[in-house]
Amino acid sequence: MASSPHRIGLILIDHGSPSPVWNKSHEDLLPKVEEELGRRGFTTMFYAVRWCHMEFVQPSVAETMNNLEAEGVSRVIAIPVFISVSSHSERDLPNILNIRFHPDQDSEMVRYTGHIPVTLCTPLDHQYGLLPKVVAQQAVDMMADGRDPTRTAAVVLSHGDGCGHFWQHLHKAINDLVIERTGIKSCEGLYVQTLRSPAAQRRLRDHCREAMAGVDTLLVLTAFNGTSGATFVTRTADGLAKRNDEGLPLGVVGCPTLFLSGPLMISALVDCAVHACQVSTGRKDVPELRGEEKKSVPPYNPPFWLTRDAVPGHNDRTIIRPSTDR
């Protein structure tokens, strides 16, 4: 089918997982995104809105793109529903979408070789303070149970690794806002990958011991799309018990909620989709961010506070602990 100049497609891409439950938690966002587009009066902006997965499960990105091309779509806006800049956002997805050639491509990730131009958007850490806001709100909700902020601390778990200064920027913003919104004693970040390895589970346990010095409660929050703090606490406790290792200290409490389907998340995805569509079709100019809005977007060159001008003690465990897992 010949493409129409007005047929813009929107695809939202997650990582994909062998777990059907994980995949469904992401796919369930699609009708909410469509509903929010309609509520704002953008029902006709996108000819088609699709959800797809980078790997492990169908529909794949290539399959989705081929279907949109067959439907006559003229351009695609692609939003990676990933936490932060990583090899996935900078290598895998551009390769799959055929907008970049990188010599190292996973052979199981099929490349789209059609003719639709693609505008690839940025991950969630670029959505104007979205993740600090949603994680801080989870902390506020957990404190509503009457916990004493002077006797409470928090740890924010993330996959981490890879593009380090992006994760550092994200964790610093999260930590600062959690403390500001709750008044708790401290908030730190910890890279855990998927928290399935014995080394990662022991490291979380050891971190909890240290973080609980002088407090009664440690809130476990996450900068993960589909895994809650409560799930990670259970996964760690079960793994330690299975190996007869010493368990987590008393007072470790995992956040039970996912932020995926929350209103802030849906709003940010729609903001990104609409803005990208307007700019890529020439209806709006690319904006120049200023002030606090500019500060909320991570710089692509590592900021000086992460490199040569770092204040002693600033770029250490108060922000993030690097992963030692290999």
Find the CATH number of the domain harbouring 113. Answer: 3.40.50.1400
Which residues lie across from 190 on neighbouring strands? 157, 321
Per the CB < 8 A criterion, the answer to whether 46 and 9 are in contact is: yes
Extract the tokens encoding 243.
């190996």
Strand-strand pairing, 186-191 and 152-158 = parallel
Residue 294 domain-assigned?
no
- Euclidean distance between CA atoms 152 and 173, whole angstroms: 19
Per the CB < 8 A criterion, the answer to whether 179 and 186 are in contact is: yes
- Euclidean distance between CA atoms 19 and 26, whole angstroms: 11
- The whole-number average pLDDT for the span 166-172 is 84
- The whole-number average pLDDT for the span 301-321 is 48
Q: Considering the entire predicted model, what is its pTM? A: 0.85
Q: What is the pLDDT of residues 203-239, one digit of tens each?
A: 999 999 999 999 999 999 999 888 999 999 999 999 9
Q: Are residues 85 and 135 in the same domain?
A: no
Q: Are residues 80 and 144 in the same domain?
A: no
Q: Are residues 102 and 216 in the same domain?
A: no
Which of 215, 237, 254 is the endpoint of a domain? 254
Q: Are residues 186 and 135 in the same domain?
A: yes
Q: What is the pLDDT of residues 52-108, one digit of tens each?
A: 999 999 999 999 999 999 999 999 999 999 988 878 888 899 999 999 887 777 677
Domain holding 192, by residue range, is 130-254
Residue 138 domain-assigned?
yes
Q: Are residues 12 and 109 in the same domain?
A: yes
- Euclidean distance between CA atoms 308 and 294, whole angstroms: 22
Diameter of the chain by CA atoms?
Answer: 67
Q: What domain count does the chain have?
A: 2
Extract the tokens encoding 296.
């909320």
- Per-residue confidence (pLDDT) for residue 61, from 0 to 100: 98
- Residue 52 has φ and ψ, to the nearest 5°, of -150, 175
Residue 290 domain-assigned?
no
Per-residue pLDDT at 1 exceeds 60? no
Q: Are residues 265 and 249 in the same domain?
A: no
- Per-residue confidence (pLDDT) for residue 299, from 0 to 100: 67
Q: What is the pLDDT of residues 245-277, one digit of tens each?
A: 999 999 999 999 988 878 999 999 999 999 999
- Euclidean distance between CA atoms 214 and 150, whole angstroms: 9
Residue 42 domain-assigned?
yes
Strand-strand pairing, 217-222 and 152-158 = parallel
Question: For the chain, where are the E strands, in sequence order?
Answer: 8-14, 48-53, 75-80, 118-120, 152-158, 186-191, 217-222, 252-254
DSSP letter at 251? T
- Euclidean distance between CA atoms 269 and 257, whole angstroms: 19
Q: Are residues 135 and 247 in the same domain?
A: yes
- Residue 221: which CATH number? 3.40.50
- The whole-number average pLDDT for the span 45-54 is 98
- Does 233 or 300 have the greater pLDDT score? 233
Confidence of residue 36 (pLDDT cuts 50, 70, 90): very high
Q: Are residues 100 and 139 in the same domain?
A: no
Q: Are residues 110 and 144 in the same domain?
A: no
Question: How far from the centroid of its chain's Cα atoms is residue 72's Cα?
Answer: 31
By C-alpha distance, which of 240, 157, 148, 156 is closest to 201?
A: 240
